[in-house]
Structure 1
């Protein structure tokens, strides 16, 4: 899933756009789709004067006791309105949404707003309000707050970002999430708030924090080589079935660390797409892992520029997603 696109499904359910006030399409059964709610401040929204009006109309129109998944798109001005605009009415309506299993906040494509423009807030309020939630997905890291939480049923946690704040990363890694099976964090770059270090991942990489974790994604980082080196020795890797270190500035140095660390041959899949590997390193990775049945993704080369100053060439490498 590229951040430039809207999600077409959530929790195994196809996305369905809740219609505008002047539209009267036949609505699907509430439990059969992931309902996408959006408020475009520049659109012809009729009686909807803000996102709260849109959400109230949804509550009044759909049997929300049967709704299983909610996707929140544009909720107002990208620069001015943060995600509390959708979280506050969502939390207030928790008793009317007893079947909710999945929430995605920030399904905003690149034409609507760059990923760094999306203003987040304290998204753990959703976890507090919905103790039986199974999936929480977030797009955008600006203003993101995620203190350490305890949640008994969360299965999937995903952050799509050009820059995750270090405090939020530590909060995730220090949380008590005994049912968590899938965790993905696009860590991003310092220019857009991605100031996390390997030390911030300590609670995650150690053994036992998330006993059910089977898929780990630490992606889209400008310190991807350092992350690969830490992962190569991290106890958590032994319990994984898939590992994703894609989208960042991952070079031969990081790949060398992976090859020299603990065995990775137990993995079903290792995603290293969008990388800066040499052909020789790609061959070494294939020879080391593919005979054991590891599905290895080495596709797509990363973006880089070269500058020449006084005869010296400097190479600039970029993560897949930043602004």
Structure 2
């Protein structure tokens, strides 16, 4: 699966682009920026030059105090390494201006700009102290380009309700930072763990604090997806305390086979779930029927079945 389209809506708001060339909505130039009610996306094209000046111009053009939702698209020249272009640095500098920011997505980058594992990992954890009112945080990133400028540390986000990481190889240190975080209001957590070949080195042990649910009292949806250890994750989920209070569970996009499904069926009951997402799997037809028969009242997605002898994650490079 390749990501060819940027988000057109974020946090329930239509996305408006702010680029070096001007303000655009759905590709149409606007004479003046909207007064409000939109999610702003700030990005540069590959040959536009540095992100920093474009972001500064954005803050001068709009009323930053009115911005509630912000999307960061591509931010680097090819091979660029100027700290002024690091979106986290720019966001930390702007925290005194973006005073009502509630929703943030870093890395709305399509494959034509950069494949997912070549989107730099950024040191996102200080953002939660700088923006204590954040309710939603998404990030799309990879591992290949190395260490973020800022160390990833455990964090507290008192109002955060939704946390989503899209990656073809989510580093274990990201998983551990989330697992050690205090997230009392978090309702939705989704992590595309990816493959070790692209830096996805998290283990089931790294996921243990998440699966215990002790730091996630409000969690209602959990997605542990796109993993090349999906069967191991299924086995851990089968006895995980957090599952009993979930409304929905996603174990999709990875290399799940009959072994993972057998672990789920042999574990704690899943009949309380409203939905179970297992799409992009490698179960046999017989096991697929067993799963569906065992959960008659649950909306189970078993689409995109693959050959059990050739399992692969949906998103990698």
Please give the TM-score of this superposition, normalised by the length of structure 2.
0.91
> Per the alignment, do residues 115 and 22 of structure 1 end up closer, same or farther by CA in structure 2, a change over 3 Å counting?
closer
Secondary structure of 1:178's counterpart equals: coil
Match in the other structure for 1:67: 67
Among 193, 201, 211, the residue aligned to 1:205: 211
- Tell me how far apart the structure 2 counterparts of residues 41 and 286 of structure 1 sit (CA, whole Å): 47
Give the unaligned 5+ runs of structure 2. Answer: 24-28
Structure 2 residue 294 is matched with structure 1 residue 300: no
Deviations 1:217-260 (A, max 9, x none): 00000000000000000000011000000000000110011111
> Per the alignment, do residues 59 and 155 of structure 1 end up closer, same or farther by CA in structure 2, a change over 3 Å counting?
same
Match in the other structure for 2:45: 40
> Per the alignment, do residues 216 and 73 of structure 1 end up closer, same or farther by CA in structure 2, a change over 3 Å counting?
same
Match in the other structure for 1:46: none
Deviations 1:87-132 (A, max 9, x none): 1111111111111101100100011100010112210121121001
Pairing 1:52-131 to 2, within 5 Å after superposition: 52-81=52-81, 85-131=86-132
- Tell me how far apart the structure 2 counterparts of residues 105 and 255 of structure 1 sit (CA, whole Å): 34
Q: Alpha-carbon deviation of 1:21? A: 3.7
- Tell me how far apart the structure 2 counterparts of residues 2 and 316 of structure 1 sit (CA, whole Å): 19
> Per the alignment, do residues 137 and 230 of structure 1 end up closer, same or farther by CA in structure 2, a change over 3 Å counting?
same
Match in the other structure for 2:26: none
- Tell me how far apart the structure 1 counterparts of residues 35 and 87 of structure 2 sit (CA, whole Å): 20
CA contact (8 A) 1:78 1:119 kept: no
Match in the other structure for 1:169: 175
Match in the other structure for 2:312: 318
CA contact (8 A) 1:30 1:67 kept: no
Backbone CA RMSD of aligned residues: 1.9
> Per the alignment, do residues 79 and 295 of structure 1 end up closer, same or farther by CA in structure 2, a change over 3 Å counting?
farther
Pairing 1:135-284 to 2, within 5 Å after superposition: 135-142=136-143, 143=147, 146-284=152-290
Deviations 1:271-301 (A, max 9, x none): 00000011111111111112x2x11100112
- Tell me how far apart the structure 2 counterparts of residues 269 and 254 of structure 1 sit (CA, whole Å): 17
Please give the TM-score of this superposition, normalised by the length of structure 1.
0.90
Length, aligned pairs only: 306
> Per the alignment, do residues 303 and 226 of structure 1 end up closer, same or farther by CA in structure 2, a change over 3 Å counting?
same
Q: Alpha-carbon deviation of 1:19? A: 4.5
Match in the other structure for 1:309: none
- Tell me how far apart the structure 2 counterparts of residues 122 and 30 of structure 1 sit (CA, whole Å): 31
Q: Alpha-carbon deviation of 1:31? A: 3.0
Secondary structure of 2:181's counterpart equals: coil
- Tell me how far apart the structure 2 counterparts of residues 60 and 160 of structure 1 sit (CA, whole Å): 31
CA contact (8 A) 2:121 2:141 kept: yes
- Tell me how far apart the structure 2 counterparts of residues 77 and 249 of structure 1 sit (CA, whole Å): 35
